[in-house]
Structure 1
């Protein structure tokens, strides 16, 4: 069911009302040659009727001012201070925004409902001209809201089951994603090649699309390779839950010979629990971490990890948002596949 967007008017709205092309609207409103004075006057009257105001982001991109884009994280605040992923992501984002004279408005909230409320407030207050959106969900209210508000955005990650097979669904939202399923497949193949048959995946928040893709890929690859003893255990990404889940798993009558952790913080916590319980890594337990970091390289043994340039991931997201603010169409872009870096925490198990 269609509905009229409750949003600030755009050049496309003006072009539709005035019966001219978007390029003609741009020429007319920016005082550039290429349209007649009659057309220029008509476009300006329509713009005034619609209450159109030039985007501060567009002025910033042309060197005439400054603007701000927003980033909201709906994650438990306690999990952000020690996780390197978001720090690296934001550093890459900030590098591009600074180059274009754009500021970053950042906020942490408890859940997606609160995140949506922030978007509505920012739009009403004209605080941001675009958004960077993280942690897509299968039933995600945010794309529809952004369509309604008319806020350009880049979704970092994809809510699609198979992002490569699905077209751009929202005209104002670009998507930048990495192949989580392919990355998990490389982990399972590595562990299977070492002889592991009992593998547990300590996953992140279960409602996140990338968590679901990782869990699905684990099951698919295990079935393909004939590994019956695999399962995923959701957590909140914190070292506390990672350690608690590791203790429970290692206390089982038939514990796993390998654990895959969905971030570096949980993997380091798991390594500490193994030492606490006298479980030798890697001969009795192999450990793999998602998202390589200095933590993974500083432990003994070093942690086998999926590595990618997270700062570059942030730069690419910001570049796509800058393109949208400049009038480019929305796109779906696959970023670099995380690469498995074997270290001393994975080896052939001493027993099956």
Structure 2
């Protein structure tokens, strides 16, 4: 068998020192760009890659980043956001020789103990901070334990860590504007937990869009982003004395469950009830009727967040994230408002 090439073989073939090969693969300054490219090309041609363990020792890093998620496993399992986001993260980490350490923790813990253990044990070089809470204390904790982080979501304005996020307000507003253009005046919202930043921001965007259209506030039900929660919320809305003619859901999972509840009760969608979601998950286009929703590039979001975190860990110049703006995708689950329902005005509902 042909012996596996070593770093010395690459250095000899490229006409450089062993240290130069190490510098090239660790993206460290001190060698010319053309020399770096020659080394990398020589290594590719020879089929040589550095040992992860040796590289970690040489740069005094764990070569891993963490993501601590405070959600029940059953909720996370069904949420299509995280697989797409993690796929984007992994595509960047794999190219850079880093691993992802994923931990699930109890919701009431918010991951504080886990973050401290990760920092104390040196198991990760930085973390991606997801599922932001209003008045979230985790950024301050990470600053305290000196664990680099990137906030996945809106900038909290604390100046502690960089944020990589997309404003979800325009997407929700576009859904409401679409429904208003179809004649709907009684538009409900099924939102995520108010303690979560994106749960509150989507509710605020829904309320603001109704006000901009001169409409009274519609009914609101707080849920938990799960299918079970979406189904229960939809049931409560349909049981109202004056049920809405349209419902805007904070994610596709709740919207799909709501659609199933409506159809099971014999309600014509979209003839009697229009339904819209958020995320444009893969199944959204294959429902009956297909789901009107807001599309976002979640995989690209994961790539941008991972890239920014590695910039921070390796003390490189920040890469400016380029993220797609959320965009409304109109499908068959929304249609004109039924004519035999009372009109809503700017007057407050009793």
Pair 1:246-2:219 in alignment: no
Query: SS in structure 1 opposite 2:218?
Result: strand
Change in Cα spacing, 1:95 to 1:62, as seen in structure 2 (3 Å) is: farther
- Measured against aligned partners, the alpha-carbon deviations of 1:197-234 in whole angstroms (never above 9, x if no partner) come to 11111111211111111111211121111111424321
Equivalent of 1:77 in 63, 73, 96: 73
Q: Report the count of equivalent residues.
A: 295
Structure 1 residues 332, 208: CA separation in 2 closer, same or farther (over 3 Å shift)? farther
Cα pair distance change 1:63/1:298, threshold 3 Å: farther
Separation in 2, partners of 1:272, 1:250? 13
- Map of 1:232 onto structure 2: 220
**TM-score, length-scaled by structure 2:** 0.78
Residue 333 (structure 1) shift: 5.5
- Selected match of 2:98 from 93, 98, 102: 102
Is residue 57–residue 325 contact of structure 1 (8 Å, CA) maintained in 2?
no
Aligned to 2:83: 87
TM-score, scaled relative to structure 1: 0.77
The answer as to 2:206 corresponding to 1:218 is yes
Q: Distance in 1 between matches of 2:322 and 2:83?
A: 21
Answer yes or no: is the 8 Å Cα contact 1:89–1:314 preserved in 2.
yes
SS of the residue corresponding to residue 80 of structure 1 reads: helix
Kindly provide the CA deviation profile for residues 110-165 of structure 1, in whole angstroms up to 9, marking residues without a partner as x: 226340110001111111110011011221110101111111111100264xxxxx
Whether 1:115 aligns to 2:111 is yes
Aligned-partner Cα distance in 2 for 1:197–1:267: 19
Q: How does 1:312-327 map to 2 (within 5 A)?
A: 312-327=300-315
Cα distance change, pair 156–58 in 1 and its aligned pair in 2 (3 A): farther
How big is each residue's C-alpha offset from its partner over 1:39-79, in whole Å with a ceiling of 9 and x where there is no partner? Answer: xxxxxxxxxxxxxxxxx999559999861110011112211
CA RMSD of aligned residues (A): 2.8
Judging by fraction of residues, say which structure has more strand.
Answer: 1
Q: 1:330 to 1:147 in 2, by over 3 A?
A: farther
Question: Counterpart of 2:65 in 1: which secondary structure?
Answer: strand
The CA deviation at 1:179 is: 0.9
Q: Tell me, which stretches of 5 or more residues in structure 2 are unaligned?
A: 1-26, 31-51, 342-350
Measure how far apart 1:31 and its partner are.
11
1:157-176 equivalences in 2 (<5 Å): 157-158=153-154, 160=156, 166=157, 169-170=159-160, 173-176=161-164
Greater relative contact order structure (CA < 8 Å, 6+ sep): 1
